[in-house]
Structure 1
Amino acid sequence: MSSATLSKRTNEATPPVILEVAKAISAHLDLSDVLGALITTLKPVARFDAIGIGVLDGDHVKLQSLHIEGMPRRAGESVQSILARRASDLNIEPSKTRKPVSQHHISAIITSRQPYVCRDVESQRRFACDEDLLRYGIKSYIGLPLMKHGKLIGIVEFLSKEKRNYTDDEVQLLQDVSELVSIAVANALAYEEINALKEQLQIENRLLQDEIVQRSIYEEIIGSSTSLQRVLAAIDKVAQTDSTVLVTGETGTGKELVAHAIHRRSPRSGRALVKVNCAALPSELIASELFGHEKGAFTGALQQRIGRFEAANGGTIFLDEIGELPPELQIAFLRVLQEKEFERVGGNRTIQTDVRVIAATNRDLEREVADGRFRMDLYYRLNVFPIHVPALRDRSDDIPILVDYFAARLSSRMGKRIRQIEKRTLDAMQQYSWPGNIRELQNVIERGVILTEGEVFRLDPDTLSRGSEKTAPRRPESGSSGDEQKAEIEAVLRETRGRISGPEGAAARLGVPASTLESRIRALKINKHQFR
């Protein structure tokens, strides 16, 4: 068919085609659906093999959506996945979805605000992105500006596998179409932004509720011992800065309370304190939890999701059990600390973050570094301002104050009135070693308040009979061999009859979080059920 004949058909078909395009666009919210409908609607007057939408992102242009004719679509599939599948079919390396403006033909549109027509990519090769198009078999294309309120927001590209002598009438038709596409793109971007803001608000609301629950019992750090006063003085000094803090101490000593206290006294207190327990997350999900993921990044990723670092932007992130972070993620986390930037899983757009980091561990990280299980450079980045929280047995002078505090708070919640603590009970509590530290103390007092009938708080003599000698909790040495660790854990499981959690559980006796012990049990292939 001659160019003149095609031009005539284009002129005759323009009004009905524009109407059909408008209908197709209005019928879909998802951009990929819009592009699929668009390529079908244009077939009678202009055939193309693919349509892409590029959106300006600073000094880069990002491929936002793509439809390739004849290529089956998958629900929720990302642009990266589509390009990767097509590249696999062609046995080539997939191209990046984000390119500098200077390497893309959108730079010509920025200058002229006019369509950019490439009738023969091979001979015209003006931009670096043309090389990528040739690798994918594209021989010609038309790029048209996408405008919003007179401002360029991106580009719509009509791509063909054949060299084409595009006429002025065809270009004009596509320019009319691009004005409608601009509206769809602007709506889609606004919809994505609203969803992202909505998700961030939901996350911050959930985190705030979690913080309120945490503070319902532990509103302040209680005690007057010299060792605790040193901790409080350190909190006051570091709170007003943005320095990274590493909180160390046995499980149950109140490391999270220290993180809350630092955040509440900091200039960031108006934003969220986001908590991540590195030991509680499966290793395959930690990256997605910390950094978020793009739609289609992996099976089940049906929509974009922001991670904890994005949720904490402007606030504080508390990384509990940082010693459990897998080696492959230690590198990514080091980059966040150094550069204050990261990419979502499955994405290649660099996201800047303004977040204060507080990390906590009950491990000896220096020992972990020496044994090659923790990166030395990450350790020094975290250990800017260390705070060590003493074990409860090392500040037994605080026990009477803590007992009074928890007994009063818990009895009030339960509608009881406790006026006095039995001396025998208090003496026993000061002699007990408290392997589970503050957490165990609170649990014991709560149980005692429940059982108390009158106004005097007392515990059954057998409650603290076991472990009453002041000895430190046993813990499997991180540097010991696997056989030695296995033997020690099995010995403690035998004593606790397979019980992991709770004040009398194996985790408390070993001085590690229950989640950490469970992880070691799986790694050492221990059958905990045989001890029950």
Structure 2
Amino acid sequence: MKEKILIVEDQFVEADYLRLMLTQAGYNVTGIARSVTQAEEMMQEETPDFVLLDIFLKGKQTGIHLAKQLTADNIPFVYLSANSTEDILNEAKTTEPYGFLVKPFREKDLLVTLEIARYRYKHSLESKYRQEAELKKSIKNIIAKSTNLQETLLKVAATLQKYIPFDYMAAGFDNIGSASFAGTCFLRIGFNEYQTIGINELATITGKTIEELIALQSHSPQETNATVYNNDAFKNICRQPSLRKLFAETFRLKSHLEMPVFILNGRPFSFCLYSKISDAYNASHINLFENAQMLLINGIETMLNNKNNIQHKVNKIAEAGFAEGCEGIIGKSPLLLNVLDHVAQVAPSDTSVLILGESGTGKEKIADCIHNLSNRKSKPFIKVNCAALPAMLIESELFGHEKGAFTGALDKRIGKFEKANHGTILLDEIGEMPLELQVKLLRVLQEKEIERIGGRDTIKIDVRIVAATNKNLEKEVAEGRFRLDLYYRLNVFPIEMPPLRQRKEDIPVLAYHFMNYYGNKAGKKISGIADDVLKSMMAYNWRGNIRELEHQMERSVLLAKGNVIENILLPAMPGKQTQGAEEDYVKTIYENERDYIISILKKCNGRIWGAGAAAEILNIHPSTLKSKMKKLGIRKEFIQ
């Protein structure tokens, strides 16, 4: 008997159909719940191995509410849903499901999705245990070597960053007005670079007196348990005057993770992490910290009891190692630093990585970093651009061929996977790979072996796969151009590159970098960029991202008449639509789907059920059609 599965689905017909399919496949269906409350009651009686979870359920709470609890309890789940709005899908994705099935689906789709979910859950557990072990080991080494509290806190902050990212951290006792106060704040200013901010520095930065800071702390609620505040929750706790509100306004923070520990007879000592990203923290961050907090408690108590504990002023920490592997990465924006944190986290393992992002955002540079920071850095790193190869040659290019395997195969050829053995292979533009090759790539990932074209023997390989694409693979899967099982195999550890328009604070440093590079290359002494030019660059949208910026700077350097770039020829920004532009308006997928369903309903005089009715014409279950109508806002007056 396979895993125990709980079905959370409010439609009786669909729930029974799911139960039948799963039972026939050998799964143990422990029950069917129609609401979040009913599901919670069932899970108290018997904990399932997997949950199949519809987003829209009976009652006020949706499946997304239950998903957050499942994540906290470390129970894997797969969403089941008809097409939903983009906002709902984006909210569902933040809960990190192990799969997503769009209704209606086939039995094969369900079983494949469960198989992939099992694979991803296994790898996530391995990653979780590895992270816990690494964090505990790092903290133990820090405490063993440190002699003062401030230095220890700074090193702990740098260590936490890899697993629980933050832009600002306040650590210490909740008694900043006391002479015995032993805490400080750290502002992240770069990768492994932190500015130490004590109470005097905080007063200078904020313009508040120390007395005002003490008063604001007394207004800050004291937590007894680790708590996450994202999005609206963070805005709510920052409405009243407090240190939290001051931190948020001063450093442009958007989310918060409060992690209190209790030492020295129960005195609260908090680690307060803040991020400039609005949805930065989740239950997994709390679990990771709680598993390492005993080491922190013992270390802090030891140092506070040490009479020779002397506070040293440390402005920043910059550990060697990262820059050596990622020299080509320019910028210090929060979104870029978040990407680098993910790179540092995943690079030492052999986990497959999927790099997503628009063209020109630097996906290949990130792939270089992952390889250079891995244990395979001394081994081959082979890059393949799937979009640049003719479909007939991709298989030969990847897996090789034997002599005489096909017309023109005059010699034996070693494929890219064999050349990358014990190293890393980058499959760039993976979204362009033909479907028939996707099947063979899936086998490589599963079996870790290949076959040359025309060969009879399988060849075992040990290759770490990094894939990159500028396409929306979820959309490609939905439209049948990319295999669902391959997508989830590759998507074990996704890294999303932010477009340049979302990290505009990096534009000046990138511009100067390219100015110096192309100035030296052209033999021209260019010393600066005019303020007006920088302002126009900051206002421009940069659809081509860093690649477009690089080309514009190369051109501007060549056209510069003096030693300062005083002009840059940026394309005209598209203006507001005129009346005539309405003809060029392109409807969204949801608008097209809504109009199409309305047209079918009108032909059927509003009939949903029965022969010749709308559900039959659309080839979907009537309850699914009703669900779609509700989500797309289709009412009877539209049909009449």
What TM-score comes out, normalization by structure 2 length? Answer: 0.39
Structure with greater Cα Rg = 1
Using CA pairs below 8 Å that are at least 6 residues apart, which structure has the higher relative contact order? 1
What TM-score comes out, normalization by structure 1 length? Answer: 0.47
